[in-house]
């Protein structure tokens, strides 16, 4: 960054751009790395601006002292897929319609397989979390019952 850029931009914007630049270069973003590349800003100012950027959801703290930019996507549009009698596939996304030959549709499916697997894994993770919560609840109930039975047995042995 040159002197003119620094004079025209706010410290918040300078820090946000530096976070993006470091992240894009696969560098760990910390207050120390920011201080090293932005010597004109004090650690106090960097800390203050990092807090502001977190509060405004422009960056995220992934662990203590490590930051990453928050990427914002536009709202998802409605999607629909039509398969015509001749095998032609029409994909409607929002107001756009894409017409694909059967070969193009297969190729697109091949290109999208990673996203499909990721979606499947996310769904499986959600389902496993629900099942895990049910199992934990059942185990707690069983432990309570076993404890009650152990107390009843213990009381029965003491009375003899």
Helix (H) or strand (E) run with residue 154 in it: helix 113-159
Q: Which residues contact 60 (CB under 8 A, 6 or more apart)?
A: 54, 67, 68, 69, 70
CA pseudo-torsion sign 70, 73, 76, 79:
negative
**Cα(6)–Cα(38) distance, integer angstroms:** 10
In tens digits, the chain (160 residues) has pLDDT values of 455 554 578 999 999 999 999 998 888 999 999 999 999 999 999 999 999 999 999 999 999 999 999 988 888 999 999 999 999 999 999 999 999 999 999 999 999 999 899 889 888 988 898 899 999 999 999 999 999 999 988 887 665 4
91: helix, strand or coil: strand
Domains in the chain and their CATH numbers? Answer: 3-69 (1.10.10)
């Amino acid at each position: 960054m040159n002197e003119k850029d620094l004079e025209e931009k706010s410290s918040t914007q300078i820090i946000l751009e530096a976070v993006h630049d470091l992240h894009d270069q696969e560098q760990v973003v910390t207050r120390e790395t920011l201080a090293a590349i932005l010597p004109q800003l004090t650690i106090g100012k960097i800390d203050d601006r990092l807090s502001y950027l977190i509060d405004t959801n422009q960056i995220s703290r992934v662990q203590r002292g490590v930051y990453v930019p928050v990427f914002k996507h536009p709202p998802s549009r409605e999607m629909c897929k039509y398969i015509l009698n001749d095998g032609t596939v029409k994909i409607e996304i929002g107001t756009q319609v894409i017409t694909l030959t059967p070969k193009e549709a297969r190729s697109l499916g091949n290109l999208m397989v990673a996203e499909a697997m990721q979606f499947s894994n996310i769904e499986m993770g959600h389902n496993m979390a629900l099942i895990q919560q049910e199992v934990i609840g059942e185990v707690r109930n069983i432990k309570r019952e076993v404890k009650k039975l152990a107390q009843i047995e213990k009381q029965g042995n003491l009375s003899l």
